[in-house]
Chain A
Amino acid sequence: MDTMRDRFGTVASRLLDEDPRLAVVLAVISSDRFTDAAKAHPDRVVDVGIREQLLVSVASGMALTGLRPLVHTFASFLVERPFEQVKLDLNHQGVGAVLVSAGASYDNAAGGRTHQSPGDVALLDTLEGWTVHVPGHPDEAEALLRHAAADGDSRVYVRLSDQTNLAPVAVPPGRFQVVREGRAGVVLAVGPMLYPVLEATGGRDVTVLYASTVRPFDAATVHDAVLRADVPDLVLVEPYLAGTSADFANRALADVPHRVLSLGTSREELRRYGSARDHIAAHGLDPAGLRRRIDGFLEG
């Protein structure tokens, strides 16, 4: 199986052939995946070198002239490093782009803190109007990339990761999917967290919701699911900073006395290398860690 990042290379290259409005803007990372596309479309595949502020500003300038740029590098250098460019050159200028990141929270565990971006979605939440896709499978990544490319002049963040579920779930962008119905509470799994959540809640009578698009937050589906359960308990399981969606969940349930448990990566810097599996376990996001905390919450 190819990775989501591989799929981005093949899909974006094809989209360049199909839609003259699209451009791909790179800062060295993944440029080897666009060699052929750059030959076919030399003016619509731009590698700015290791210049991440310019990466975002160039995309914005292109958008000001009417193009729809797909902008790509590792999450830490796409959202965090040039955050003012995202805030001012995209939002403040009133233009759109598709930011496509790789690396996510701990894909590059051995790379250390510099190559990890667990706060990217929380940062984008400080800005208006961002659609955030967190696919859990390369096939979902392809569908969401195609949707994003054709989504007018909207601002879209596609968070690609090496962590994947065993099989894709077909979800219309913007909707959460009911994967399993239960009575003892609701667990919302975001992107690659679905299979760990299904394993952790096996044998528990809970509803499991799945989100591959987390912004906009499908408040209606969450509200309905919590009301259908016997107890108004909601667990959020996100593969990035714990609590990122807590405010959205609380607002969705504003008319219901409820409890929310937010699981995700911890705010404390995990000053360790190793593998993604090590980091997932350290953050308590493996099935055993999830089960312990979900059980403790629902039984509490």
Chain B
Amino acid sequence: MTTTREPAPAAAPHAHESAHPRGGYGYQDLQPLMSLMSGDEKHDPAATSTLDALWVLYDRVLRVSPNTADDPERDRFLLSKGHGPMAYYAVLTAKGFVPRAWLPGFGGYDSPLGYHPDRMLVPGVEIGSGSLGHGLPLAVGSALGLRAQGLTGPAVWALVGDAEMDEGSNHEAVQLAGAMGLERLHVVAIDNRSATYGWRGGLAARFAMEGWSALTIDGRDHDALYEAFTAPHPGRPHVVVAEVEPKD
């Protein structure tokens, strides 16, 4: 592998996520929440490719809640891969941003929950997405905007897919963020091997070549995700390539 290995975090707590934190929803509730949208009891791997990464981020990493959704000091999570947002809506519901009662209306004319999310309609959604290759460039701008205001605390996260990385706009963003050493910028790239021509040498190598801290891990392993998400990366932006089942 050509991935860059950061030193392991000092203490990676093992399985510290709880089943039902404070009476809320747990990980095992996410698929039933998705079923409210899809009508299906089970979801294929493509529909859940982002589910584990999203859960670990919102459950253990991101410092944002419904109460701090407008706080300048909050962490920003930008879902760039806006296609197939059921897992995202399920996690936002589990974390209290989106009312559960909205889910059955998914995609309906009167529903705020579309097949691609809209930040103007859904609480907690930082960007409207759907057209690929916008979220990471927007995240670069957000990191620069926060830095220009002296807000060095908030982390900025963008979630992309490996096929989405085909978009040239992402390469503009990867290069600039690496060159500028945007330390508060983070990317989680869900790799289900759906890029049309693949990424020779792996996706992480593209980021590492531009000066990013880059890790590749099992995108279904919550502790591995947590460890990679929280790995230190001083002076550099950080990408976590989360490998999941290849898309058919």
A contact residues vs B (CB 8 Å cutoff): 20, 23, 43-44, 46, 48-49, 51, 53-54, 57-67, 84-85, 88-89, 92-94
Contact = CB atoms under 8 A, between A and B. Distances in A.
B176 A65 contact: no
A43 to B, nearest CB: 4
A51 B176 contact: yes
Nearest to B158: A61
B89 to A, nearest CB: 19
Contacts of B175: 49, 51
Nearest to B141: A61
Most buried by A among B119, B145, B176: B145
B63 to A, nearest CB: 16
Interface of B: 72, 76, 118-120, 126-128, 131, 133-134, 137-149, 151, 168-169, 172-173, 175-176
Contacts of B172: 48, 51, 53-54
A61 B144 contact: yes
Contact of A88 (B128, B140, B147, B151): B128
A268 B137 CA distance: 35
B149 A60 contact: no
Most buried by B among A64, A93, A94: A64
A54 B148 contact: no
Given A46-B144, A49-B176, A62-B142, A54 B134 contact: no
Contacts of B142: 61-62, 64-65
Given A23-B148, A84-B131, A88-B128, 14 more contacts: A20-B149, A53-B168, A54-B137, A54-B173, A57-B140, A57-B169, A61-B143, A61-B144, A62-B141, A63-B145, A65-B146, A65-B149, A67-B149, A89-B134
Contacts of A60: 138, 141
Most buried by B among A46, A57, A85, A94: A57
A53 B134 CA distance: 9
A54 B140 contact: yes
B135 to A, nearest CB: 9
A20 B72 CA distance: 16
Pairs of residues from A and B, 9 with the lowest C-beta to C-beta distance, nearest first: A61-B141, A57-B137, A65-B145, A62-B145, A58-B141, A51-B172, A54-B172, A43-B148, A61-B142
A211 B3 CA distance: 58
A66 B72 contact: yes
Most buried by A among B76, B141, B146: B141
A247 B142 CA distance: 37
A93 B141 contact: no
Contacts of A23: 145, 148
A21 B113 CA distance: 33
A291 B76 CA distance: 58
A23 B148 CA distance: 8
Most buried by B among A51, A54, A88, A92: A54
A84 B148 CA distance: 26
B138 A64 contact: yes
11 contacts: A20-B149, A53-B168, A57-B134, A57-B141, A61-B138, A61-B139, A61-B140, A64-B76, A65-B142, A66-B149, A93-B127
A127 to B, nearest CB: 14
Contacts of B145: 23, 61-67
Contacts of A53: 133, 137, 168-169, 172
Nearest to A84: B131
A57 B148 CA distance: 16
A48 B141 CA distance: 10
Most buried by B among A43, A53, A65, A66: A65
A67 B142 CA distance: 10
Contacts of A59: 141
A271 B142 CA distance: 41
Nearest to A65: B145
A185 to B, nearest CB: 44
Contacts of B169: 53-54, 57, 85
Contacts of B133: 53
A47 to B, nearest CB: 10
Contacts of A66: 72, 145, 149
B155 to A, nearest CB: 13
Contacts of B173: 54, 57
A57 B173 CA distance: 9
A41 to B, nearest CB: 8
Contacts of A64: 76, 126-127, 138, 141-142, 145
